[in-house]
Amino acid sequence: MKLFEPITIGRLTLRNRLVFAPYETNYATEEGLVTQRQIDHYQKIARGGTGLIVVEASNVNPDLSLRVTPFGLGVYDDKVIAPLQRLSQAIHGEGCKVILQLADKSILAKGITPGDFQVSEIEKLIDYFVKASVRVQKAGFDGVNFHMAHAYTLAHFLSIKSNKRTDAYGKGMEGKSKISVEILKRTRQQVGGDFLLVPRLSGDEFIVEGNTLKQTLVIAKILEETGADMLDISAGGRREETADPAGENSYSAHRSVPRDYLPDGVNVYLAEAIKKATQIPVITVGKIKTAALAEEILQNGKADLVAMGRQLFADPDFPKKVQEGMEKEIISCLSCRYCHRVYFKNEPIECVHRVKAARQQP
């Protein structure tokens, strides 16, 4: 199967094309430090045979009141390096490569827009991302994933819906991309050419007057030309931009974590379009739960790598079971969002399958 063929990105070779998607756990300490539970969680995914793990969205902002979640990872200070190193070593010990996702959620936390930032504040935010990237490299990771999608600050700057600035950080798609471009350029200067830099984008925001593929194709080309090694294409997640009182149940939210009523692989066409327009590898994600679908995506050139989040959380041994012809033994994700609902309560995530099994214990 092409799914289990190695792939080389830059100078990094992955054992296969299966990616564990960034997936916040609420397993960290209140300071954002790695815990043993987190290490065990990711080591289990790596041991199951996944080729690349993208560790969950990690806060770059030293103001902890603006962190991604109360128990999310942080990369805002040098004290995180040693704990993160234990995590990278555990994953590498299982033959898996690993990058870490960097994020800032200050716009959502403060209820502001890109237009409320002074240029000096933008410069400070760029510096946070660059310094966080250096820490991740020092901790032994293979690269970083810049969260430029969903409800995160960089996504707001990229969006024609939320970024109404008329200066260099807002005028045209080049202006809206400028903060992301500067983060990529300055990070590359600090980490060198062997460290993967992977932006995550919303292929379509799925909000009225928001970015669609038309805008994202432009952004993708700009980031490719800036030196991105790979593009990670998600969708939606812009519920805070809508007037929809359903909030987390808005359609945009449904597309970032596809619900059970949506078809499998619902967002693949977005990655396919971006792959056709660029020359660097592209990851697709979004309710991909079977090896057959993953293989079809790869065989037909719709993406170069396939990411699974909830499915690999439900069954970390998914890759081994497929390779050993034990697909009937796979525990399939129900797309029920139990894990997501627990996450939004700021509780440690768990899979409904394991919760049910625990309840059945005598």
Where in the sequence numbering do the catalytic residues fall?
152
What does the longest C-alpha to C-alpha distance in the chain come to? Answer: 65
Pairing mode, strands 305-308 and 18-20: parallel
Q: Which residues contact residue 134 at a Cβ distance below 8 angstroms, ignoring those fewer than 6 apart?
A: 187, 190, 191
Report strand pairing: 97-103 vs 143-148: parallel
Residue reference for tokens 């009182």: 245
- Determine the 3-state secondary structure of 91 from DSSP: helix
Q: What angle do CA 59, 319, 340 make, to 5 degrees?
A: 40
309: left (phi over 0), alpha (psi -120 to 50) or beta: alpha
How far apart are alpha carbons 185 and 159 in whole angstroms? 20
Six-digit token string for 48: 């199951």
